[in-house]
Amino acid sequence: MGFQRFPRHYIQVSDTRDDEILSVYRETIAPLYGYVSRCSGGDRSLAEDVTQEAWLRAVRDWRRKGMPDRPLAWLTTVARNLLASHFRRRRSAPLASLSPAELLEALDDGRATRSAEMAAVVCCALARLPAAQAEILEAFHFEERPVSEIAARSGLSDRAVEGRLRRAREKLRRELESVMAFAGGTR
């Protein structure tokens, strides 16, 4: 039995299943933290807390039910849900100087992922989208995957992914309007 470093805490490793979990931890911690960090708008404390909580839930769940076929996908889903819960509970600061269209532009050119305030509003709006739409937007904007890779992973044509992205962006724009109106007190 040994101890392995985990952000701010130690996890105890005791048996073969735990050795397998530890191996997956080593393989997935960097990509998971990178994803969470991009989605949390540079809020390091939030990124660390969400990554840690996702892994604590994984260890608890995987010990009972066994490891999923795609551990990183499982962890990413848990992290996305934790972020969504966080942003639902927190009222976003108003961005009076930006319109939803300007926020979408900021998402396209990467500014939204570098600004905690913009990322908070975008993540709050993403949390209100259906999971499939949020996932495709996150893959394209936050994970910076090309359309061809998203298409290959999802078994769709490039054109189908482009159509889904367009519809998801339109839905995101409407959600941004709603979130910004609420945050600004005009709702």
pLDDT in tens, 147-177: 999 999 889 999 999 999 999 989 988 888 8
Lowest-pLDDT choice from 3-7, 53-57, 152-156? 3-7
DSSP state string for 68-125: -SSHHHHHHHHHHHHHHHHHHHSPPPP-TT--HHHHHHHHHHTHHHH-HHHHHHHHHH
For β-strands 2-6 and 9-13, DSSP reports them as antiparallel
State the pLDDT confidence band at 36, using cuts at 50, 70 and 90: confident
**First-to-last CA distance in the chain?**
56
Q: What is the pLDDT of residue 18?
A: 79
Q: What is the pLDDT of residue 94?
A: 47
How confident is the model over 87-134, as pLDDT tens digits? 766 654 445 556 777 777 877 777 776 666 677 777 777 778 888 888
Backbone angles phi, psi at 163, to 5 degrees: -65, -45
Mean pLDDT, the chain, integer: 79
Lowest-pLDDT choice from 12-21, 22-31, 97-106? 12-21
Element (H, E) at 3: strand 2-6
DSSP 3-state of 184 = coil
Residue 47, pLDDT above cutoff 60: yes
Residue 44, pLDDT above cutoff 80: yes
Average pLDDT over residues 79-91: 76
Q: What is the pLDDT of residue 98?
A: 67
